[in-house]
């Protein structure tokens, strides 16, 4: 063991000296029990983050750090991390940035990031998309219920003031979407990627709509159906295990929330053409999804996107909002309103991460140490990325293009009315919430 410690010291000492010239990191690196088997990489006392090297195979990840290689080393147990969640991801980003900088200190440019995206491009089909969705969402319903809100809404919440509870902010998000859509009693609503059914149940019970929700996750489908049954909404809500490309018919309103990230850049135009074909002539569609902040649809900096693709969201791809709007217009959809909610997702992921950290022992027992580590990095990394403009979130409200301007509202006031519409002032009783343990595992 002494030989290994000496070898690590020989490799890490000159690396640390070079790194100190690029960044002042509140980081302690330790690889043994002796005081000599440690290096401080910054002036902060005490260091806010410690990396413990558990195996020499972690050395390449440290000598050429990226978010992908550092994340892999942590997930695979080659390193352990000590520190608060915000400090961990902040130091990881700075370490990866220092490692990625060229001799002039500049990070990779947009062309390099675009080439990275092309190099990691994926092919999407109904089978591969189903497998990717089930990989992510079919861990267990109890896993998600441990850190989501009681309605299990797994997408960006909407905060009026920023101090609301997660549960209230998620309910506000759903109402914000349905109000934007001007959903009225009796209208047909399609929810693409319906999750555990919160939006369609709200649309049916409080807005009087007739709803179809589709998902590719068997766990989500089974529990959503049971929740609909428990709420007595079977006559107004249908939950299907179905790909959006297999849906027939026309709908007055369409909501797609947190789903189009799975479509793939090459298939965005076909996706929006499908929505166009499903939309009634005078209908409205709202697309709510994560976007890249790289104007060339490139990956996030320093390998964070590749880590997520490998461990969290297989085949997920993010388009820039400019690309989204272009593909919509090419597909016959006119964007009527665009709202950026990046700050809202930073707050949402912060609340998710805090809940996740507070239930670490329970979650480790559910999914094991490796899976717990994957999701820990994913949540705290997502919070950092939204906070620092690495990724964003937009709601885009559309209608069929080529129509008269007379059908468009004069202002956006209807979206933010202080008083609820008449149909909401005497809502139906709140749907019963089925205990998650009754759902499939």
pLDDT over 70, % of the chain: 85
Compute how many other C-beta atoms are within 10 angstroms of the C-beta atom of residue 72.
20
166 and 297, same domain (yes or no): yes
Per-residue pLDDT band at 303 (split at 50, 70, 90): confident
In this predicted structure, what is the pLDDT of residue 104?
Answer: 40
pLDDT tens digit string along 47-86?
A: 999 999 998 899 899 888 999 999 999 999 999 999 999 8
C-alpha–C-alpha distance, residues 147 and 144, integer Å: 6
Asked whether residue 107 is domain-assigned, the answer is no
Question: Is residue 402 predicted with pLDDT exceeding 90?
Answer: yes
In this predicted structure, what is the pLDDT of residue 28?
Answer: 94
C-alpha–C-alpha distance, residues 262 and 217, integer Å: 13
Asked whether residue 112 is domain-assigned, the answer is no
C-alpha–C-alpha distance, residues 185 and 66, integer Å: 51
In this predicted structure, what is the pLDDT of residue 127?
Answer: 52
90 and 152, same domain (yes or no): no
In this predicted structure, what is the pLDDT of residue 373?
Answer: 95
Q: Are 301 and 390 in contact (CB under 8 A)?
A: yes
In this predicted structure, what is the pLDDT of residue 138?
Answer: 58
Asked whether residue 119 is domain-assigned, the answer is no
Q: Are 174 and 394 in contact (CB under 8 A)?
A: no
Strands 79-82 and 251-257: what pairing?
unpaired
In this predicted structure, what is the pLDDT of residue 126?
Answer: 52
Count of structural domains within the chain: 2
302 and 426, same domain (yes or no): yes
Of the residues 63, 83, 100, which one is the last residue of a structural domain?
Answer: 100
Asked whether residue 118 is domain-assigned, the answer is no
C-alpha–C-alpha distance, residues 331 and 325, integer Å: 10
157 and 81, same domain (yes or no): no
Asked whether residue 394 is domain-assigned, the answer is yes
291 and 186, same domain (yes or no): yes
| Mean per-residue pLDDT, 365-388 | 95
C-alpha–C-alpha distance, residues 76 and 307, integer Å: 13
147 and 75, same domain (yes or no): no
214 and 91, same domain (yes or no): no
Least confident of 187-196, 207-216, 309-318, 330-339: 309-318
Per-residue pLDDT band at 4 (split at 50, 70, 90): low
pLDDT tens digit string along 409-438?
A: 899 998 987 544 444 443 444 443 444 443
- In this structure, what DSSP letter does residue 64 have? S
214 and 316, same domain (yes or no): yes
Q: Are 326 and 291 in contact (CB under 8 A)?
A: no
Compute how many other C-beta atoms are within 10 angstroms of the C-beta atom of residue 126.
12
Q: Are 100 and 66 in contact (CB under 8 A)?
A: yes
Dihedral angle at the C-alpha atoms of 73, 74, 80, 86, nearest 10 degrees?
130
pTM attached to this predicted model? 0.86
Closest residue by Cα to residue 19 from 62, 78, 80, 82: 62
Asked whether residue 8 is domain-assigned, the answer is yes
| Mean per-residue pLDDT, 391-399 | 98
73 and 30, same domain (yes or no): yes
pLDDT tens digit string along 197-237?
A: 999 999 999 999 999 999 999 999 999 999 999 999 999 99
330 and 230, same domain (yes or no): yes
Mean pLDDT value across the chain: 86
Asked whether residue 120 is domain-assigned, the answer is no
Closest residue by Cα to residue 82 from 103, 115, 54, 59: 54
Asked whether residue 195 is domain-assigned, the answer is yes
CATH assignment at residue 421: 3.40.50.150
Of the residues 53, 83, 100, which one is the last residue of a structural domain?
Answer: 100
Question: Is residue 115 predicted with pLDDT exceeding 70?
Answer: no
CATH assignment at residue 12: 3.30.1050
140 and 25, same domain (yes or no): no
Per-residue pLDDT band at 134 (split at 50, 70, 90): very low
Per-residue pLDDT band at 18 (split at 50, 70, 90): confident
Which residues constitute the domain of residue 322? Answer: 126-403+413-436
Q: CB-side exposure of 184: number of CA atoms within 13 Å?
A: 4
Of the residues 58, 84, 100, which one is the last residue of a structural domain?
Answer: 100
Strands 237-241 and 210-215: what pairing?
parallel
329 and 205, same domain (yes or no): yes
Per-residue pLDDT band at 394 (split at 50, 70, 90): very high
């Amino acid at each position: 063991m002494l030989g290994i410690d000496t070898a690590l010291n020989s490799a890490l000492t000159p690396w640390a000296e070079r790194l100190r010239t690029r960044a002042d990191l509140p980081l302690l690196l330790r690889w043994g029990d002796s005081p000599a088997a440690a290096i401080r990489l910054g002036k902060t006392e005490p260091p806010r983050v410690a990396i413990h090297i558990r195996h020499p195979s972690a050395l390449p990840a440290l000598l050429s750090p990226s978010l992908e290689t550092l994340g892999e080393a942590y997930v695979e147990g080659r390193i352990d991390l000590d520190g608060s969640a915000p400090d961990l991801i902040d130091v990881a980003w700075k370490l990866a940035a220092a490692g990625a900088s060229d001799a002039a200190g500049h990070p990779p440019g947009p062309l390099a990031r675009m080439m990275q995206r092309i190099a990691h491009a994926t092919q999407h089909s109904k089978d591969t998309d189903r497998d990717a969705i089930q990989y992510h969402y079919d861990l267990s319903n109890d896993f998600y219920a441990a850190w989501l809100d009681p309605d299990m809404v797994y997408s960006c919440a909407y905060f009026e003031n920023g101090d609301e509870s997660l549960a209230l902010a998620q309910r506000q998000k759903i109402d914000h979407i349905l109000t934007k859509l001007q959903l009225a009693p009796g209208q047909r609503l399609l929810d693409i990627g319906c999750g555990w059914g919160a939006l369609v149940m709200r649309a049916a019970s409080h807005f009087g709509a007739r709803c179809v929700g589709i998902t590719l996750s068997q766990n989500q489908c089974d529990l959503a159906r049971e929740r609909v049954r428990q709420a007595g909404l079977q006559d107004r809500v249908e939950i299907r295990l179905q790909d959006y490309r297999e849906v027939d018919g026309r709908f007055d309103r369409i909501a797609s929330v947190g789903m189009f990230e799975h479509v793939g850049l090459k298939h965005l135009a076909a996706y929006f053409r499908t929505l166009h074909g499903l939309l009634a002539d005078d209908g409205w569609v709202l697309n709510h999804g994560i976007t890249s902040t790289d104007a060339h649809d490139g990956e996030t900096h320093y390998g964070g996107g590749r880590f997520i693709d490998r461990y969290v969201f297989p085949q997920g791809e993010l388009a820039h909002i400019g690309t989204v709007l272009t593909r919509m217009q090419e597909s016959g959809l006119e964007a009527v309103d665009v709202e950026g909610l990046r700050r809202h997702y930073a707050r949402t992921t912060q609340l998710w991460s805090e809940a996740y950290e507070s239930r670490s022992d329970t979650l480790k027992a559910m999914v094991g140490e490796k899976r717990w580590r994957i999701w820990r990095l994913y949540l705290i990394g997502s919070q950092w990325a939204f906070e620092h403009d690495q990724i964003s979130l937009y709601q885009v409200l559309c209608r069929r293009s080529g129509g008269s301007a007379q059908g468009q509202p004069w202002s956006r006031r209807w979206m933010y009315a202080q008083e609820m519409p008449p149909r909401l002032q005497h809502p139906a009783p709140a749907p019963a919430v089925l205990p998650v343990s009754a759902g499939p595992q």
